[in-house]
Amino acid sequence: MIHSFFGGVYPATRKGSTRRKPLSRLAQAPKEVVIPLIMCSDGPATPMVRPGDPVTVGQPIARRGETGAAAHASVSGRVSAIEKRPHPWGGWSNAIVIQNDDRNEHYDGRMEPLDPRSLTLEQLLARVEAAGVVGMGGGAFPTWEKIARAAGRTDTLIVNAAECEPYVTADYRLLLERGDHILRGARALARCLGSKRVVVVTEGDKLSAVEAVERRLRRQGGGQVQLCTIRTRYPLGAEKQIIQTVTGREVPPGGSPLDVKCAVFNVATVFAIQDALFQARPLINRAVTVTGGAVTRPRNLWVPIGTPLRALLDACGGLKEEPDRILTGGPMMGVALQNLDAPVMKDTNSLICLSGWEHKPDAPGGVCIRCGKCVAACPMHLAPAFIRRALEAKDLDRLTKYHVEDCISCGCCSFICPAQIPLVETVAQASAAIKRGGVL
DSSP for 75-115, written as a single string? S-EEEEEEEEEE-TTSSEEEEEEEEE-S--PBPTTPPPPPP
144: closest CA among 123, 170, 167? 123
SS3 418: coil
Q: Chain centroid to CA 138: how far?
A: 3
Q: Residue 213 in contact with residue 227, Cβ under 8 Å? A: yes
Quote the CA–CA distance of 286 and 13 in Å, as a whole number.
22
Q: Residue 186 in contact with residue 227, Cβ under 8 Å? A: no
What is the structure's pLDDT at 361?
64
What is the structure's pLDDT at 364?
63
What domains appear along the chain, each with residue ranges and CATH number? 121-278 (3.40.50.11540), 373-435 (no CATH)
Quote the CA–CA distance of 304 and 314 in Å, as a whole number.
15
What is the structure's pLDDT at 171?
96
300: closest CA among 26, 13, 24? 24
What is the structure's pLDDT at 1?
65
Quote the CA–CA distance of 124 and 129 in Å, as a whole number.
8
pLDDT in tens, the chain (440 residues): 678 899 999 999 999 999 999 999 999 999 999 999 999 988 899 999 999 999 999 999 999 988 899 999 999 999 999 999 999 998 999 999 999 999 999 999 888 999 998 999 999 999 999 999 999 987 889 999 999 999 999 999 999 999 999 999 999 999 999 999 999 999 999 999 999 999 999 988 888 888 989 998 888 776 789 999 998 899 999 999 999 999 999 999 889 999 999 999 999 999 999 999 999 999 999 999 999 999 999 999 999 999 999 999 999 999 999 999 999 999 999 999 989 999 999 999 999 999 988 876 656 667 899 999 999 999 999 999 999 999 999 888 898 899 999 999 999 999 999 999 999 999 999 988 888 766 55
Q: In what order do the strands lie in the sheet with 71-72?
A: 46-47, 60-63, 71-72
CA distances from residue 32 to 50, 55, 102 in whole angstroms, order as listed = 16, 13, 10
Predicted TM-score (pTM) of the model is 0.95
Q: Residue 156 in contact with residue 261, Cβ under 8 Å? A: yes
What is the structure's pLDDT at 440?
57
Quote the CA–CA distance of 19 and 416 in Å, as a whole number.
26
Radius of gyration of the chain (CA): 22
Backbone φ and ψ for 274, nearest 5 degrees, come out as -65, -35
Q: Which helix (H) or strand (E) holds 424?
A: helix 423-435
DSSP for 220-273, written as a single string? H--TTEEEEEE---BTTTSHHHHHHHHH---PPTT--GGGGTEEEEEHHHHHHH
Bridge partners for 304 per DSSP: 285
Q: Residue 114 in contact with residue 277, Cβ under 8 Å? A: yes
Q: In 281-362, which residue ranges form alpha helices assigned H by DSSP?
A: 309-315
Q: How many other β-carbons are positioned within 10 Å of the β-carbon of residue 355?
A: 17
344: closest CA among 77, 159, 75? 75
DSSP 34: E
Q: Residue 61 in contact with residue 47, Cβ under 8 Å? A: yes
Peptide bond just before 142 cis, omega within 30 deg:
no
